[in-house]
């Protein structure tokens, strides 16, 4: 095997010899490198190889910065996992619905203020009721007559429900006024239970029916309704 002799400048330890040594080691075989290490010395050989590797690493082109991924691009799914049938491809901002009835921004519900504000609706409903009654007298068609009759009945039921609600509201206001009066006199106010409030509301309803002379018809309907309920609980007769 031919022996490789180091350059003269390398033995003297000159910078020029070290540069030639670094250039020559890139094309040498492993046996030639071992022989060169034995001739130059382990310390000198390691320093030259370390400088050579550092120079190679520094000569590499700088890695460019990875661009920022667009958040609106389609989502990349793995091929190993089954893609779901419904998936969100593009993020969509969720619209939050705002219900003014349950929102604090709309303020607190006050029945008295509400009735005063929308008092004009009662006048509109009264005019509509008169118009329906006039149309009911004019139309003689059976189908049209039934539709108008159902509409008039629904409007009357709504009116009765509003009157009942207004009566209960007046009763609650009367109880509150009585409690305030007791507190001003120095006495401890008495708060009625829900069952007692229902009894007072029922008593007021009976008084109103008695004044309008509809108490008998109301009691008859109540008896028939209760008799029908009792009849359901009776055992079936065996024939």
pLDDT tens-digit series, residues 164-214: 888 888 888 888 888 888 888 888 877 778 888 888 878 888 887 888 887
pLDDT value for 10? 42
pLDDT value for 5? 46
Cα–Cα distance between 146 and 26 in angstroms, integer? Answer: 107
**In this structure, are residues 5 and 21 in contact, taking their beta carbons and an 8 Å threshold?**
no
SS3 state at 43 = helix
Ranges 8-22, 28-42, 64-78, 99-113: which has the least confidence: 8-22
Burial class of residue 73 (count of CB atoms within 10 Å of its CB; 0-12, 13-18, 19+): exposed
When mean pLDDT is compared over 9-13, 26-30, 74-78, the highest value belongs to: 74-78
> Residue 137 above 60 pLDDT?
yes
pLDDT tens-digit series, residues 91-114: 778 888 888 878 888 788 787 888
pLDDT value for 24? 59
Q: How many CA atoms does the CB half-sphere of 154 hold within 13 Å?
A: 8
Burial class of residue 40 (count of CB atoms within 10 Å of its CB; 0-12, 13-18, 19+): buried
Within 10 A of 187 (CB to CB), how many other CB atoms are there?
Answer: 10
- Average pLDDT taken over every residue of the chain: 75
> Residue 87 above 90 pLDDT?
no
């Amino acid at each position: 095997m031919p022996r490789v002799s180091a350059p003269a400048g390398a033995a003297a330890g000159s910078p020029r010899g070290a540069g030639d040594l670094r250039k020559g080691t890139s094309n040498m075989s492993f046996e030639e490198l071992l022989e060169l290490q034995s001739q130059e010395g382990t310390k000198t050989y390691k320093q030259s190889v370390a400088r050579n590797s550092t120079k190679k690493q520094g000569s590499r082109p700088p890695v460019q910065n990875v661009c920022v991924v667009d958040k609106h691009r389609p989502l990349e799914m793995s091929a190993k996992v089954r893609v779901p049938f419904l998936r969100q491809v593009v993020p969509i901002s969720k619209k939050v619905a705002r219900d003014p009835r349950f929102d604090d921004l709309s303020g607190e519900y006050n029945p008295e203020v509400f009735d005063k504000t929308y008092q004009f609706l009662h006048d509109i409903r009264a005019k509509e009721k008169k118009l329906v009654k006039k149309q009911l007298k004019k139309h003689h068609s059976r189908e049209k007559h039934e539709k108008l009759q159902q509409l008039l009945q629904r409007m009357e039921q709504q009116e009765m429900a509003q009157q009942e609600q207004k009566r209960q509201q007046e009763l609650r206001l009367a109880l509150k006024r009585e409690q305030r009066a007791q507190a001003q006199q120095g006495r401890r106010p008495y708060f009625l239970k829900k069952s007692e409030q229902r009894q007072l509301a029922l008593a007021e309803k009976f008084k109103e029916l008695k004044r309008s002379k509809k108490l008998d018809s109301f009691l008859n309907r109540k008896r028939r309704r209760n008799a029908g309920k009792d009849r359901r609980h009776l055992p079936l007769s065996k024939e």
